[in-house]
Amino acid sequence: MRQDLTSPATVVCSVRHTLFIIIHSHLILLLMQDFIEMQQRQEAARQQTIDSLNEVLCRIISQPPGAASWHGTSRDLVELVDLAASRQTICDDRGIPFSRNALARKAFAATGLHMPAHVSGVVHRIRNRANSSYSLLTRWGRSLGQTNFSCQL
């Protein structure tokens, strides 16, 4: 027995199915838009935090030796230096970005702290830690009031 495709019951089922697909597609688009907006907010918060940390390092290295104070750990200072060095935003008088080691020397001299012998080894351990919630970037972001803030370097 062939089903009549023009019967009222078939047309109603087809319309319901089409409406379901349209509504379902619209809901998926709304969820995708929400997700994209959330990602953009998180990236903006991350950039704000990185900019704030960059300013802190600029203030530290502009101080004469031993004049700056650092209340974090040496590892936090190395993480701060690595973040700035990876972005290449702090430059010398000729406009050339400081290397990680040059920034570390300036930051540790300004704070009067002992610089680790192998900064790259400390950076390697920082990048490979198991829990990213210990990240200076994450802790600084949370201190700025960004409650749902978590990111990797």
pTM equals: 0.68
- Do the beta carbons of residue 59 and residue 68 sit within 8 Å? yes
Task: Report residue 2's pLDDT band, with 50, 70 and 90 as the boundaries.
Answer: low
DSSP code string of 39-68: HHHHHHHHHHHHHHHHHHHHHHHTSPTTTS
For residue 120, give the amino acid letter: S
Closest CA to 119 of 151, 71, 84, 68: 84
pLDDT digits (tens, 9 = 90+) for 37-52: 999 988 888 888 888 8
With H, G, I as helix, E, B as strand and everything else as coil, classify residue 17: helix
- Do the beta carbons of residue 90 and residue 57 sit within 8 Å? yes
What's the whole-number mean pLDDT along residues 125-140?
78
pLDDT digits (tens, 9 = 90+) for 72-126: 889 989 999 999 998 888 888 899 999 999 999 999 999 999 999 999 999 998 8
